[in-house]
């Protein structure tokens, strides 16, 4: 991992490397990229409400294609944020849920959601003023 330096304990001994998300090779950058993805936050917020089937996620998140939703869900599953459970039925029923790790991320993402809801009027006014100048 590329890092800026090392964390030091109270005695000045090096402990863990400090991540540098601006470096392309930094593992934390991939996590930030995942969170910043166009659809990830929406998937996480829905799964925070309840376990969902693929079709419910696709229906609730307007504009996401099945291919992209599949890619996002697989990536979240790979990162340990979402679990995928296949039920042995005909046709097979697949459900997605947050893991406990995913739940900790939702706490942070929910803050972004709350901010966006609280400030959308200001953002829209700023956009309109900017567009009027252009």
Residue 80 and residue 109 in contact, taking contact as beta carbons nearer than 8 Å: no
pLDDT per residue as tens digits for the range 92-106: 899 999 999 999 999
Q: For position 90, which CATH number holds? A: 1.10.10.10
Per-residue pLDDT band at 20 (split at 50, 70, 90): confident
The range of the structural domain enclosing residue 53 comes to 39-133
Encode burial over 94-109: b for 16+ CB neighbours within 10 A, e otherwise. Answer: ebbebbeebeebbeeb
- Distance of alpha carbon 60 from alpha carbon 124, whole angstroms: 23
Q: Are residues 71 and 51 in the same domain?
A: yes
For 64-95, write each residue's pLDDT tens digit.
999 999 999 999 999 999 999 999 888 889 99
Q: Do residue 22 and residue 47 come from a single domain? A: no
**Cβ atoms of 52 and 72 closer than 8 Å:** no
What is d(CA 60, CA 47) in angstroms, rounded to the nearest whole number?
11
């Amino acid at each position: 991992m590329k890092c800026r330096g090392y964390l030091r304990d109270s005695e000045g001994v090096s402990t863990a490397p400090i991540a540098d998300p601006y470096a392309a090779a930094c593992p934390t950058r991939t996590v930030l990229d995942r969170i910043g993805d166009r659809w990830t936050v929406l998937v996480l917020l829905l799964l925070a409400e309840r376990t969902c089937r693929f079709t419910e996620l696709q229906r609730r998140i307007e504009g996401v294609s099945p291919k992209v939703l599949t890619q996002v869900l697989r990536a979240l599953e790979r990162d340990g944020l979402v679990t995928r459970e296949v039920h042995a039925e005909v046709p097979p029923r697949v459900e997605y849920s947050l893991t406990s790790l995913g739940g900790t991320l939702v706490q942070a993402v929910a803050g972004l959601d709350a901010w966006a809801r609280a400030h959308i009027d200001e953002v829209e006014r700023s956009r309109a003023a900017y567009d009027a100048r252009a």
